[in-house]
Amino acid sequence: MTLTLAQTSPTTTACDAIIVAVRPNGRGLEVAGHGLTPAQAKKITDALSALGATGKSGEVTKVGGVSGFKAPLVVAVGLGAVKDKVDLESIRRAGGNAIRALAGTKKVAIISDPEPELLQAMATGARLAAYAFTAFKSKQEPKSAPASAIVLIVPGPITADQKRIVAEVNIVANAVDLTRDLVNTPPNALPPTALAAAAKKAVAKLPVTVTIWDERALKRDGCGGILGVGQGSANPPRLVKMVYAPRGAKAHLAIVGKGITFDTGGISIKPAKNMDEMKGDMAGAASVISAMQAIAALGLKVKVTGWVPTAENMPSGTAQRPGDVITTYNGTTVEVLNTDAEGRLILADALAMAAEENPALIIDVATLTGAQRIALGARIAGVMSNDDDARAQVCAAAESGGEAMWPMPLPEDLLATLDSATADIANIGDGLGGMLSAGVFLNKFIPSGQAWVHLDIAGPAFNDKGPYGYTPKGGTGAAVRTFVQVAKGLAAG
Ligand code: BES
Ligand code: MN
Ligand code: ZN
């Protein structure tokens, strides 16, 4: 699905439905933006008022046959009242709600506010909502198919700025959709080798080099974490490195994503209920792969190295046992007290390797702990760091990219809960503050002085409830937009 821009008249645009954003203004409803003449806007707001529309955020009202409009259906979407400033997320969600309400409609036009930030928000929400994962359906269902064409109508000549915004929205949304597809792909169709192949394919036409470690290379290089987790599966583990190093790069960013293609828990096996959702335990990896694609396609002037450690966590006669001690890439020995705390083991190798290159910043992203969902819920990611400025930088990038992320501490005291009688460190703490102790564990693999941020996206990566705004059920594409914003910030110097 590609989003396009057109300078046509809202009344004569040929489409199956036309979307217009409205908000309450105290006296009634007003149409947002400047796409319509006052007379045209009044026709729509009159029809809406008769239907009882209020313009509140999230409201979608369909009006058939508004006189003077060629579109057979006008869809009004509420933005809510403007408080102190226009809330871009409410515009993204409005665009998303309208597009979702139009499933089964082919060509949709949107009367957009032409102002760059507002245009971008509307385009992003609409484009991200037009998603469905049907690769494993033997029959397609046209009634629930998302719009196949979305055109943003702007008044006046299309500017270079508007063109650039729409091109960017398409690149970023394609990357978000790739993450969703990878997360939604069944685990039998996406073992570690397939995830590594997907990384290659994602950047095949872009200036990104991809190196893949197989089991022999992992052994040669001492990646005991990745090998330990992967040893229980018939599907061997991999490590993928992706490098984008454009001429004139301002800084070096490293991004590291957890790629557990299925997490049974291993010998410390998980309960059966909802275990299928653990196909999404590679969401961090998927967002790293997708961010590499988007950043390279945007041509951002920043060097980015993507690291994807990937393994399948299975119980078997060759699986690691609770009590096993493994030696990770940087020589640290880890007593594996719980084989279900596997993400931190594969990240330990990849983080230590990423740090050898002394990037300006390392960000890892992982569906790491159930405790993240207890602490922050299903929609807000936890942000931990060894550096206050870096944490603030990433939280600000998330905010500007439209993702909900919140700062969390890394209490030094929790290190003592990771003490092991046998090895340097144990892979679980005492069960309290589980999101934080996982972060404290990862910190052991970051050399001092190396700026590092850890994103726990266990909740936000996978929407197990109904769709809302521009977020579909299943894989959400969490962290991709944040990575793009961080890279943009570094490229701007
Ligand atoms: N992949 C899970 C975390 C998870 C849980 C992600 C639910 C998404 C939804 C992770 O590998 C895990 O099992 N973590 C354990 C750690 C514990 C054993 C210390 C957990 O959170 O229970
Ligand atoms: Mn686990
Ligand atoms: Zn896991």
Does ligand 1 come within 6 angstroms of the Cβ of 458? yes
> Alpha helices, DSSP H only, in 323-366?
343-355
- Residue ranges with CB less than 5 Å from ion ligand 3: 260, 263, 281, 343
Closest protein CA for atom 7 of ligand 1:
370
Helices (H) and strands (E) in the chain, counts: 13, 21
Query: At 472, is the secondary structure helix, strand, or coil?
Result: coil
Task: Report the alpha-carbon distance of residue 194 to residue 472 in Å, rounded.
Answer: 24
Task: Report the alpha-carbon distance of residue 479 to residue 467 in Å, rounded.
Answer: 18
Q: Which two tokens stand for residue 420?
A: 């092991």
Closest protein CA for atom 22 of ligand 1:
370
Query: φ, ψ for residue 436 (rounded to 5)?
Result: -75, -40
Q: Which two tokens stand for residue 492?
A: 């701007």
Task: Report the alpha-carbon distance of residue 175 to residue 288 in Å, rounded.
Answer: 10
Does ligand 1 come within 6 angstroms of the Cβ of 263? yes
- Using 70 as the pLDDT threshold, list the residues of the chain that sit under it: none
Contacts of 388 (CB under 8 A, 6+ apart): none
Tokens 């707001």 belong to 45
* Known catalytic membership, residue 473: no
Does ligand 1 come within 6 angstroms of the Cβ of 113? no
Region of 345 (left: φ > 0; alpha: ψ -120 to 50; beta: rest) is alpha
Does ligand 1 come within 6 angstroms of the Cβ of 371? yes
* Percentage above 70 pLDDT, the chain: 100
Alpha-carbon distances of 409 from 109, 377, 412, 437, rounded to whole Å: 45, 17, 9, 10
Of the CA atoms within 13 Å of residue 127, those in its CB half-sphere come to 26
Pocket test of ligand 1: the residue of 261, 340, 425, 430 to mutate, having most ligand atoms within 8 Å of its CB, is 340
What does the chain come to in residues?
493
* Known catalytic membership, residue 344: yes
> Please, are residues 348 and 371 in contact by the beta-carbon 8 Å criterion?
no
Residue 397 Cα, ligand 2 centroid: separation in angstroms?
A: 28
Task: Report the alpha-carbon distance of residue 61 to residue 320 in Å, rounded.
Answer: 56
Q: What is the DSSP string of 228-286?
A: HHHTTSSS--EEEEEEE--TT---EEEEEE-EEEEE--TTSPPPSTTGGGGGGTTHHHH
DSSP 311: E
The pLDDT, as a whole number, for residue 85 is 80
Task: Report the alpha-carbon distance of residue 269 to residue 429 in Å, rounded.
Answer: 18
Beta strands in 390-485 (DSSP E): 405-407, 425-426, 452-456, 462-463, 474-475
258, 279, 344, 373: the catalytic one is 344
The pLDDT, as a whole number, for residue 86 is 82
Q: What are the structural domains of the chain?
A: 3-154 (3.40.220.10), 174-492 (3.40.630.10)
Contacts of 88 (CB under 8 A, 6+ apart): 117, 118, 121, 402
Burial (CB < 10 A; 0-12, 13-18, 19+), residue 30, is middle
The pLDDT, as a whole number, for residue 1 is 83
> Please, are residues 181 and 132 in contact by the beta-carbon 8 Å criterion?
no
Q: What's the pTM value of the predicted model, to 2 decimals?
A: 0.98
Q: Which amino acid does the sequence have at 108?
A: V
Residue 339 Cα, ligand 2 centroid: separation in angstroms?
A: 7
Question: Sign of dihedral through CA atoms 444, 488, 210, 173?
Answer: positive
The pLDDT, as a whole number, for residue 230 is 99
Does ligand 1 come within 6 angstroms of the Cβ of 417? no
Tokens 């809960």 belong to 417
Closest protein CA for atom 14 of ligand 1:
369
Residue 314 Cα, ligand 1 centroid: separation in angstroms?
A: 14
